[in-house]
Amino acid sequence: MRRINSRNFKRYGWVIEGPAEKPKDKEKSLFSIVLTEPLKSGWRIAYLLLRDKAVAFLERHIDSFESFEPIKGKTLIYVADTKDLKNIQCFYLDKPVILRKGVWHNVITLNKRSEIKITENAKVRCDYWQLGATLKSGE
């Protein structure tokens, strides 16, 4: 398991972070756009109450970015940019992130439950990859 930062997560998507501050900006509000989807497909906000402690599959969305924004609990996110077991990476989801289109992913909680805000296209087509194994904390 790795801690998420902009460099090590770049292959899979973006870390949602505030605008870079300059010394002269300390007294004013700042706004930055993290990602813009040029297609007019509509979007939705969802709230995931996560109780899974292990997963046997990853999923991906070919035509949608997807954000995972941790609210409560300790969560792990598994990601892979190719359908190869040795390419699966595990990150501690302690920052909000946006997955690139087509990134394989799934999440588990390390607590009794975690809560996560999700933003994605209004209509999402899912592909599923049955792993033939179970992923749990520490793998």
* H or E element that contains 69: strand 66-72
- pLDDT tens profile 41-87: 788 888 899 999 999 999 999 999 999 999 999 999 999 999 999 99
- pLDDT tens profile 78-132: 999 999 999 999 999 999 999 999 999 999 999 998 999 999 988 889 999 999 9
Amino acid 10 reads K
Pairing, β 89-92 against β 2-3: parallel
CATH entry 2.60.120.480 includes domain 2-16+42-133: yes
- For the chain, the domains span 2-16+42-133
